[in-house]
Amino acid sequence: MLCKEIMKVIEAAYPKSAALDFDNVGLQAGRSTQEIHCIYVALDATSQVIEQAKAVGADMLITHHPLIFSPMKNVTDEDFVGRRVVDLIQSDISYYAMHTNYDVLGMAELSGRILELGEVQVLDVTSEEDGAPQGIGQVGMLKKTMTLEECCIYVKNRLKLGSVKVFGEMNKKVNRLAVSPGSGKSAIKPALNKRADVLVTGDIGHHDGLDAVEQGLAVIDAGHYGTEYIFIEDMKEFLQKKLPGLQVITAPVIHPFQIF
């Protein structure tokens, strides 16, 4: 199957038009006319991931985070991003990124489903489709009221994490939870507006966490990777269902940092 045919299948479910204005999604390197037999799926197009894709004989790499995000004035081996682009092209691997279009049309619902939220709503509405709101994250009800400490344990178990960072009183009662996978500083205000008791997200800084608590919102920082690696298996299932003739291999789940 040609790369452009695979792209057509992906974009039928996750159109590029659903991406936020600042984003860069779609084919970022390689040939749309390339014959694809094996797809490698990962969260980021790191040098290690590209080497893994080459090692398994992949013809196409699909990631959530785009390798090329800001405009590039040149593509050479003198820049760490350029080196990866050159490597992909020399290795004849077509590289495709699906970022906020997947956040809006896949990640939001998936994260809410993993946390088993009920009575869900879109957390941060960015658009409407046929009158239905679409956007980043979800907010909904937990199956039962729990303390913030119990909620931390619950989130760790549901997302299969070793640890989380918490802002808030551990005995605070929570039953309405907002989740915004990835970097969630901008999700604090929507979570407050939607009357969430706790926000599960990543990349929360010191002052952002303190300010959220001051306004009555507890925050569980489960990490950027920890809230978004769910893309990998979900995309594998999507590709295997839609394109059963192709081999799909996923990157191992390896958190990018360790806590000692």
Q: Given strand 218-221, what is the order of strands in its sheet?
A: 118-129, 132-147, 173-183, 198-202, 218-221, 165-167
d(CA 69, CA 157): 33
Establish whether 206 is an annotated binding residue: no
Longest dimension (CA), the chain: 57
Coil, helix or strand at residue 193: helix
Establish whether 207 is an annotated binding residue: no
Alpha helices in the chain (DSSP H): 3-13, 47-55, 80-90, 100-102, 108-114, 148-159, 188-193, 206-214, 224-228, 230-242
**DSSP per residue, 78-138:** TSHHHHHHHHHHHTT-EEEE--HHHIIIIIHHHHHHHTT-EEEEEEEEEEEETTEEEEEEE
Q: Which of 172, 190, 179 is nearest to 140 (CA)?
A: 179
Q: How far apart are the first and last CA of the chain?
A: 46
Coil, helix or strand at residue 27: strand
Count Cβ atoms below 10 Å from residue 177 Cβ, excluding itself.
26
Establish whether 64 is an annotated binding residue: yes
Reading the block at residue 102, the tokens are 């997947």
Pairing of strands 132-147, 118-129: antiparallel
Positions at the binding site: 64-65, 103, 224, 228
Binding positions for a divalent metal cation: 64-65, 103, 224, 228
